[in-house]
Amino acid sequence: MRLSLPFAASLLIGTSIFSACTKKNSSASKQMGAEITGTQQLTEAQLASARNNYVNYCGGCHGRELETFVNRKWQHGDSPEALFKGIKHGYPEQGMPAYATTFSDQEIQQLVGFIREGIVRQKGKPAQKQNAAVHQSEKVSFQLDTVITGLDVPWGMAFLPNGDMLVTERSGTLYRLTKDRQLQKVEGAPEVLAQGQGGLLDVELHPDFKKNNVVFLSYSAVKKEGGQTLSTTAIMRAKLDGNNLTDQNVIFEAQPYARTRHHYGSRMEFGRDGYLYFTMGDRGGTKVNPQNLSVHAGKTHRIKEDGSIPADNPFVNKEGAMASIYTFGNRNAQGMALNPSTGEMWLHEHGPKGGDEVNIVKKGANYGWADVTYGIDYNGSKISDLKQKAGVTDPIHFWVPSIAPSGMAFITSDKYKGWEGDLLVGSLSFKFLSRLEVDGNRIVREERLLKDIGRVRDVRQSPDGFVYIAVENPGVIYRLVPVQQ
């Protein structure tokens, strides 16, 4: 069920691999250091093996063409020794698993060489020009209109009634993108922990925004405790007054805080019942949270606009349970959308290595993580033998291998003839836009569009009917404009 993008760690590495070596192993360490300097050119066979290992084990989180490593701010250093250490021993609190039991030292050395050479190749590539091309889907021809460039990691979008757009940048900035495409900073956004997968995440308008100017922001909140930096998923309610947020109030703060820097979840959507639904990732590092009702992690939640709890939430009267929980057994959902035909809430969530899912949100339902999954762990180890289980709600669609889904939108617009009722989902891993044909509560087929466009982080349909996608590396927002052929 679920991906997590074990986050940016295979290369977020730091101190020398030799720092922990004993004097007894110093000569062996020196020899290994010479072997992993990256100066020796890989043979064709070694290159093919390293590429295969990278694609199968690393590409889902770091991009199959190593694109997420270009212009990276290296947290632990980018030397060959640092890369070797990070791949072998991992950084679990940052979502990076250890591959010591998966790869031999020689295979890790080859991976290091492949990665370093790949980064150089990526930096030397000319920028792709997407706009001029006419993209032909099975039913619609369209071009890409570049709305804005130069963003870092655009995470969420929300359209204002006057035609402007609010855009969150994961690094912590909230922007207003005006209808004449001027980017303006909005002051008053919450303090965030912009590390790993954390930062300023989704943005959602109140259903009565035209009357009250209320917006909601999800983000990774931070606090210091016992000499450690901890974080959690939080939601702020505020009023938008021009380019300022006022009357800020934190209406949700997940418990407990954790040392990890990934699996925050954080998509938000209002249901037809007037309540705010939002996702909370399992926070990584443990597979216990999603089945544990005494913690917020690994769940879908439902609250009132002021943060109070609806009386008919499924676990309100269950002793020890968090009252905001609406579903459990979720891993890390980064897409949520209201189905306009049925009024039901749909979400997709990341599986590990395989097993991303599309689920329909059902009151009190258990979606099984980590007792049930269509995937395996990132290092190839088994998580569960079960794909189905009594009491567990099955997904209506799943991906193997993982596409790393992010953002989703149902198409109600008549601008895209033949797409009406379809579901659009972004792919971080394979860098495409997925069009899923929907028949009632079933997904009957998939078409993959805009292959290699970049890591598609969010997908939205604007009030005037156009589809917008937010893409990472570099940060760009595109508008899909239908053309006549």
* Contact (CB, 8 A) for 280 and 258: no
Structural Rg of the chain based on CA atoms = 22
Question: What values do phi and psi take at 69, rounded to 5?
Answer: -90, -15
Which residues, at least 6 apart from 464, have a Cβ–Cβ distance to it below 8 Å? 163
Active-site residue (options: 206, 263, 301, 397): 263
Question: What b-and-e string marks burial along 323-360, b requiring 16 or more CB atoms within 10 Å of the CB?
Answer: bbbbbbbbbbbbbbbbbeeeeebbbbbbbbbbbbbbbb
Q: Please give the Cα distance from 104 to 110 (Å, whole number).
A: 10
Question: What values do phi and psi take at 158, rounded to 5?
Answer: -145, 135
Phi-psi region of 484 (alpha: psi -120 to 50; beta: other; left: phi over 0): beta
Q: What would the two tokens of residue 206 be?
A: 């109140």
Q: What angle do CA 455, 159, 67 make, to 5 degrees?
A: 10
Question: Which residue in the block uniquely carries the two structure tokens 């001027």?
Answer: 182
Catalytic residue at 263? yes
Q: Please give the Cα distance from 365 to 395 (Å, whole number).
A: 11
| Of 244, 224, 245, residue with least CA distance to 236 | 245
* Contact (CB, 8 A) for 349 and 355: no
SS3 372: coil
C-alpha pair distances (Å), 280 with each of 141, 175, 241, 263, 324: 36, 24, 28, 8, 11
- Among all residues, which ones are annotated catalytic? 263
